[in-house]
Structure 1
């Protein structure tokens, strides 16, 4: 256990508990600002920014009255901005019906075909589970599309070796939630926007209704710009994010794409930035296109599920 926990660096915030939704939303806004401040300091020190540069941390919201007997555990930190924005999205969607814990597992290595991150994800789960209310079952959502291909092995290892293996955990797969909804996407192509790694392992794009952007001849050249836009969010480089995202969405507009799957948790952040600062024609395009967010699709399933 000591070796496992050594993978978890100093926490950015201790196990912080909130009971008021306005207070935790304000706290998350301050936390997001602090991430930007830390990024500025690291850049001034000529440090290359990556998820792993930031501290991990735990944050729990339990509404007054306790909420449901199910507790939502979010594994975030891959990257930290996506984790914070994912927590805000969950709190807004769920309102006060469920308690929620966010663990920013910033120490998880970059998702890459040359690196197995099963044990790092297991370490994150081991660290976060004890912080969840002991009398509640746990619903697990991982706020990183590229981490989902590893989760079957992570949970197998958890149930074989964890001291917490008696806890009831339901893992909610982004991929399965998207596939369940894909039949309702209609005849129009739904184009999946995702990282190079997610595209290479086929997280999305292997069903009858979803097409990965990198596999569409007219759009495949823009996969590199999409990857750079995502890395721009992770490295807190607004200029790189907008520059590359505008190229991607201009290409999607010219192609006539009407349905987009936001297959990376940085993409909702990118879309919000485009809605505010992209050229007018891109902003107009975003008003007319249908966007599918795997997190929201998963939350819809989560709230509909029964014990």
Structure 2
């Protein structure tokens, strides 16, 4: 049992946030309700589009993100997880506005790569156009010795971006084929593994046959990081295998 309360700043999108809560539950070693991690989900789909904000064609999402953080603070949370990769482009502003630690999804993905025994080398990353343009994974994985390759502009336009939109529209099954093709193209260019760097992408990949190469589900990675945080003082197993 842990008394640490996890805050989840979600709604970007709602299905990814729900999947995060599901994985947080399944990965927690527990035999009864009381063994699970107390968590508060702030799921607000009104957060402005992060891709549009990055392009300068939409409003800044930071004020509404901060509103969610204030709500989680008021609820007594001790740390915050954000199951949206692109939102981490505003993490400096969020961290400056709260005393709570914010778990970083890129750091969680790096730990997942190490956990799978994938050392330095070429790694593929799939994500939104904004996540890739901001260099969240390119910068975040470089210190670990990984070189990052990503889908090119044509692959983004034909495969990745439309598939992410399908998941957000609850048409998850339709997203599998284009996402699987985009991931395969990255391995054909030398990627040893593919990081699914948008929390909609693991949902689409899971809707069909598993890829024949290693992938990092960033929803799962963030859930594991959240459990490690919650269990730091509890001396209990960090995660269960599922």
Give the TM-score band, short-chain normalised: 0.7 to 0.9
* 2:72 is the counterpart of 1:125: no
Contact 2:19 2:219 survives alignment (8 Å): no
Separation in 2, partners of 1:192, 1:121: 25
TM-score normalised to the size of structure 1?
0.62
Q: 1:74 to 1:249 in 2, by over 3 A?
A: same
Deviations 1:250-291 (A, max 9, x none): 42454464311111111110111122xxxxxxx5xx1x3111
* 2:130 is the counterpart of 1:197: yes
Contact 1:175 1:203 survives alignment (8 Å): yes
Task: Please provide the CA RMSD for this pair.
Answer: 2.5
Separation in 1, partners of 2:208, 2:189: 18
Separation in 1, partners of 2:131, 2:185: 20
Deviations 1:111-153 (A, max 9, x none): 03124211110111223333x3x4xx51210010100121221
Contact 1:118 1:151 survives alignment (8 Å): no
Structure 1 residue 196 displacement after superposition = 0.2
Q: Runs of 5+ in structure 1 lacking a partner? A: 1-66, 160-168, 276-282
Q: Runs of 5+ in structure 2 lacking a partner? A: 234-242
Contact 2:126 2:183 survives alignment (8 Å): no
Give the match's secondary structure for 2:5: strand
Structure 1 residue 175 displacement after superposition = 2.0
Please say which structure displays the higher CA radius of gyration.
Answer: 1
Aligned to 2:169: 235
Q: 1:239 to 1:270 in 2, by over 3 A?
A: closer
Give the match's secondary structure for 1:211: strand
Q: 1:103 to 1:191 in 2, by over 3 A?
A: same
Aligned to 2:40: 101
Give the match's secondary structure for 2:138: coil
Aligned to 2:215: 291
Separation in 2, partners of 1:238, 1:293: 16
Separation in 2, partners of 1:173, 1:149: 11
Separation in 2, partners of 1:246, 1:262: 11
Structure 1 residue 174 displacement after superposition = 1.0
TM-score normalised to the size of structure 2?
0.77
Give the match's secondary structure for 1:75: strand
Aligned to 2:5: 71
Aligned to 1:140: 80
Structure 1 residue 241 displacement after superposition = 1.9
Separation in 2, partners of 1:239, 1:74: 26
